[in-house]
Structure 1
């Protein structure tokens, strides 16, 4: 049938420069700030000084409405208690305590928005606490953070991601905190809480420090050397995570007893040897994960819990292999004493070559144990092993019901045994397996990233007798085909997602750069995180009406996208990464007629500068084809069976929206403005009427 389209184009020929202003406001009644700043001032006030009384509602207003707020002076304000759902914990009924910078003060956990404009903050002298994630990812917050005497609690991740902070300064009379050289400590300086991320060069932790707090140096990219004194007994979770500028070998102090999860996660500059003292008897998971240039671990022989051999980290009696250093080269020999290969044991050991022999003693292999071992070509298992086996170089459980790892260098096609029930996470990740892979009827579980970056797999086909999975044109779905799990990397051309699909899974099309077009069905409800990441061949895509859930990073780095259409009149919630690395000044955003205003005011959608409107349904029926019945009395239109609490819109033939609501009743009356033709649009019907 004829497609009726209405288009309203918004042209941006240049950038308008808005004069930024300074404003002083006395808030005489808490929660009333929104009534004291005009609509125009919301986009111009960059420096704001408040006096009087405010509460969490006022913080929410500043966070959400003051779009260019950079300098905020609260030094003369009183923060009052508030209980309700209109505070900074968006939509959640919360009790906010007096004198506290509220939780999520400048970060919206529902919309995933940060206050990137904020550069300076001055706290009231009566502030007792800074709430959890209060300044989360305020990455332009760059002034000295002055901690008043009254402040005794800083919540988790309060300043996380504030990469421009260079100095903390604590009022000397503060009973809980202190500062030295811009670094935040407790009062006695035996605990180091936060090292300012913008503080650069080398740093020697004071000899008074016993505890390095969780995330204390997290993502301090400018630090090139940290000297840890022998006074330190504990290092918190992710304390040095992401400190990629710290280079060379790492010698942990002889006083260190405990180290939390991810303590040196992602420290890519670490190379050479990590020396573990006799005192370190407990460290958490992922401590050196993604620190891919470490070549050796050396453990003091007096350590009661850990040991090392040939640079590999083991338990004391070598019955557990914890970490093979990622930069270790050549062949690897697993001792016959080893019973347990920990999760991530050989993670990203890309320089290990040849064959891995699993001895008879091994009774457990954790997930991702051989992830990223890109130079391995064969797994072999001692025939006396009671728990594991190998066939054609592929690692299995003993009875071959679990496929654990496919060697990355093994190329050509592959026929999976009909005994396999479970495919482990990342089992085929990065593999050179080519052609079509057939999943037998026995497979009922596939782990995360099972086929990640296996770029030569052209199709995943499923035995018709399989009760859990199915396939369509080489794409993996569940049995009922309402969930799409994975599209092979090597798939080319265009692809039509089956009409039954409601959910596209996490990373389903991730890296499918050769796909040029994807057609999504009207049934689609949700798109998982990073579902279309790096689909660089896509130039256009239409998101259907019922697509209401678009997860983080869904279209990350779809760099060729020039047209994004969405049939939903209400903008789905997205986050910063959903459309990151898309050129939003060149990519057209096409939305339903009457929806441009709300899209242009919604975070992340409003970043698209070319916005147009369109009626998205090609099938416009006469009323006889619709389930909705209607009658006219003059210009009063009565609709029956419209569907309670469903979207209902009415347009004139010129494309003017005359009605847009979710009526509570299935019978409604509407006054039409003039004689003529109208298009009635509901969630299940589009039809034409006239009077």
Structure 2
């Protein structure tokens, strides 16, 4: 064999070896070479290896591919794993956690609905798994239970602590908790399907909201437990002096508590508003959280050392503090005890039956703060038509049924059911206090005097609009009339504006115009109240903020709440030179149609085609409240929207992934 042939053979062998090596490298690389994506590798169609868990899922085709994944393997250099970043893998049944992960976030808010097990590398120093459940390394702390695990859960022997949100949002029907568990942390069993649970002798303490939003009606405490006891499914301290936990769905009409109870926070009883009768325990020294009640009758021992009853109302023993006002008292003419000095307005947020109320001789102050769960101080007095005050009171005066301070510089109480149709605010009044004139049943015309300030408001275009709620819950209000000398406001065609006409503050609920043109000086518009007459709204070039009433305590209502209760509104027109808003077929959008701001609630079309550019809907209620709308059509070519499981998934600009929007009584289609 000559030298040339030998070299040829060597060359061929070298080529074969090279090809084999290349093919083996391709096999090792697997789908990563095909995908050419540094964030993940598909080991096969149903298994993905994540090299980076922060995946931007704004690609609909990629989401479809991720939905086929059954198994997730984490392979990052990070020590932290945010499970909320994995929610695009909706059909995943397992998650493998490598040795380097030492910190894992909760997934309770964004469950993986098919997850059956956590798998943990044996070399991991922080975590372990038992039967698919995630524990700490020493296996005495239960950290997370998989969403689709066994519906009849068993906590392993040796467990001492069940951590925050461990079962949160997991649809378990029962759970066995072994001896040795001493602590269950905050919201550990929140949003589960538990109706009953037994806690062992070792259990010592409750964290807040352990069983929040569960159908739980009964908790059983081991009789040998030295710290706690249960009576009729309710958990108390062993000596029964303190209420630890009232089951979420336990409902009683007659509330009878242990006589040893010394402190009661009624807000701990979720359905306290279902109680009709309450018996005050003999040892009780304090009661709070009583505002949201529908109690008809209070029973209290006449010799009780800490509480007394007067005209059906519960007071401290010296009658200086009002503790519980029975809102469904069958007596509708109530006299407040003369010893009361401070009127606690925060107790009167729930509707009550009182029609006539007499205020006491020693009353010197109204005290209260607007709370998130009710709109108007004293708003519970929806039936109050007559307000009286003891003739010897030196600090307040009532004139034509309205309460003022002695100097008549403040409107302090305008009864909600006062039958007057017109109220002319006296010239001496400089401000309306206590959120009055927000809610009134009969008022048709409000005349604002020279120096009167109805409510504080601030123009803040960057962080929300703080406008006035005056008149926003007055269903019969037809017009505002403002004195020309008033430095704060002006009225135009009965509509209340700021003095410089830059803010439309209140559009009267009973104003009967079918068409309204917003003045071309207005920049900010508030339409948070109701109106059942207006059909066409015309927005000028000047308007650049369109929103609802927001309160000065920071309870900002959604920008998209606007016009939600304008039931007759059929169309919104926008001046074509407006740089911030546009309208298409009578629907209001941000300029460029990126945001659907308001769909007219009275628009009579049964079909609606959502522009494919829309990446946010500020308030889906504008669509849900429309009685005519039956079908919404989504452009299948849109990169911002797609349909899944009957919901619209939309790529909101402030999220890294798609978010679901649910519609009531509306069918979604693609075209």
Q: In 1, are the aligned partners of 2:596 and 2:616 still within 8 Å (CA)?
A: no
- Taking structure 1 as reference, are residues 264 and 71 closer, same or farther at Cα in structure 2, changes over 3 Å only? farther
TM-superposed deviation, 1:537: 1.7
Of 376, 380, 391 in structure 1, the residue corresponding to residue 388 of structure 2 is 380
Residue of structure 2 in register with 1:659 after alignment: none
- Taking structure 1 as reference, are residues 39 and 466 closer, same or farther at Cα in structure 2, changes over 3 Å only? same
- 2:603 is the counterpart of 1:598: no
Cα distance in 2 for partners of 1:553, 1:187 equals: 56
Q: In 2, are the aligned partners of 1:163 and 1:198 still within 8 Å (CA)?
A: no
Residue of structure 2 in register with 1:494 after alignment: 515
- Stretch moving more, 472-481 or 328-337: 472-481
Cα distance in 2 for partners of 1:52, 1:372 equals: 55
Q: In 2, are the aligned partners of 1:509 and 1:532 still within 8 Å (CA)?
A: yes
Residue of structure 2 in register with 1:467 after alignment: 487
**What SS is found at the alignment partner of 1:414?**
strand
TM-superposed deviation, 1:163: 9.4
**What SS is found at the alignment partner of 1:389?**
strand
Residue of structure 1 in register with 2:35 after alignment: none
- 2:451 is the counterpart of 1:442: yes
**What SS is found at the alignment partner of 1:262?**
helix
Residue of structure 1 in register with 2:279 after alignment: 275
Residue of structure 1 in register with 2:113 after alignment: 118
Which blocks of at least 5 consecutive residues in structure 2 are unaligned?
Answer: 1-43, 120-128, 138-142, 369-375, 457-467, 549-556, 582-589, 643-649, 652-658
Residue of structure 2 in register with 1:345 after alignment: 347
Residue of structure 1 in register with 2:358 after alignment: 357
**What SS is found at the alignment partner of 1:376?**
coil
Cα distance in 2 for partners of 1:151, 1:319 equals: 48
Aligned residues: 530
- Stretch moving more, 46-55 or 559-568: 559-568
- Taking structure 1 as reference, are residues 38 and 385 closer, same or farther at Cα in structure 2, changes over 3 Å only? closer
Query: Where do residues 182-581 of structure 1 align in structure 2 (5 Å cutoff)?
Result: 183=197, 188-192=202-206, 194-195=210-211, 197=213, 199=215, 208=225, 227-229=234-236, 231=238, 232-235=240-243, 243=249, 246-260=251-265, 262-264=267-269, 267-271=272-276, 273-284=277-288, 287-292=289-294, 294-299=295-300, 305-329=306-330, 330-353=332-355, 355-367=356-368, 370-411=378-419, 412-446=421-455, 449-492=469-512, 493-505=514-526, 508-522=527-541, 523-528=543-548, 529=557, 530-541=561-572, 546=580, 558=601, 562=605, 571-572=615-616, 574=618, 580-581=624-625
Q: In 1, are the aligned partners of 2:517 and 2:539 still within 8 Å (CA)?
A: yes
**What SS is found at the alignment partner of 2:639?**
helix
TM-superposed deviation, 1:343: 1.9
**Larger RCO, structure (CA 8 Å, separation 6 or more):** 1
- Taking structure 1 as reference, are residues 163 and 333 closer, same or farther at Cα in structure 2, changes over 3 Å only? farther
- Taking structure 1 as reference, are residues 387 and 264 closer, same or farther at Cα in structure 2, changes over 3 Å only? farther
Q: In 2, are the aligned partners of 1:176 and 1:186 still within 8 Å (CA)?
A: no
Of 83, 95, 100 in structure 2, the residue corresponding to residue 59 of structure 1 is 83
TM-superposed deviation, 1:319: 0.8
- Taking structure 1 as reference, are residues 341 and 270 closer, same or farther at Cα in structure 2, changes over 3 Å only? same
Return the index of the structure with the highest Cα Rg: 2
C-alpha distance after superposition, 1:310-354 (max 9, x if no partner): 43122231112233111012210111111112123344453223x
- 2:106 is the counterpart of 1:99: no
C-alpha distance after superposition, 1:419-449 (max 9, x if no partner): 2233235523552333321122322242775
Which blocks of at least 5 consecutive residues in structure 1 are unaligned?
Answer: 1-21, 82-97, 108-113, 214-224, 614-691
Cα distance in 1 for partners of 2:623, 2:149 equals: 24
TM-superposed deviation, 1:380: 1.8
- Stretch moving more, 273-282 or 299-308: 299-308
Cα distance in 1 for partners of 2:284, 2:452 equals: 43
**What SS is found at the alignment partner of 2:566?**
coil
**What SS is found at the alignment partner of 1:370?**
coil
C-alpha distance after superposition, 1:122-147 (max 9, x if no partner): 55635559xxxx99xx9999945676
TM-superposed deviation, 1:415: 1.7
**What SS is found at the alignment partner of 1:457?**
coil
Cα distance in 1 for partners of 2:103, 2:367 equals: 48
TM-superposed deviation, 1:203: 5.5
C-alpha distance after superposition, 1:210-255 (max 9, x if no partner): 6899xxxxxxxxxxx854557354447xx66985x61311123334
Cα distance in 1 for partners of 2:260, 2:46 equals: 53
- Taking structure 1 as reference, are residues 360 and 501 closer, same or farther at Cα in structure 2, changes over 3 Å only? same
C-alpha distance after superposition, 1:562-604 (max 9, x if no partner): 488999967457466675545796466899xx99533553346
TM-superposed deviation, 1:527: 1.8
TM-superposed deviation, 1:546: 2.7
- Taking structure 1 as reference, are residues 322 and 476 closer, same or farther at Cα in structure 2, changes over 3 Å only? farther
Q: In 2, are the aligned partners of 1:512 and 1:535 still within 8 Å (CA)?
A: yes
TM-superposed deviation, 1:450: 4.2
C-alpha distance after superposition, 1:600-649 (max 9, x if no partner): 53346797978999xxxxxxxxxxxxxxxxxxxxxxxxxxxxxxxxxxxx
Cα distance in 2 for partners of 1:359, 1:471 equals: 38
Q: In 1, are the aligned partners of 2:448 and 2:481 still within 8 Å (CA)?
A: yes
Q: In 2, are the aligned partners of 1:264 and 1:291 still within 8 Å (CA)?
A: no
- Taking structure 1 as reference, are residues 481 and 254 closer, same or farther at Cα in structure 2, changes over 3 Å only? farther
Q: In 2, are the aligned partners of 1:433 and 1:456 still within 8 Å (CA)?
A: yes
TM-superposed deviation, 1:300: 5.2
TM-superposed deviation, 1:371: 1.9
TM-superposed deviation, 1:119: 6.5
Decide which structure has greater helix share: 2
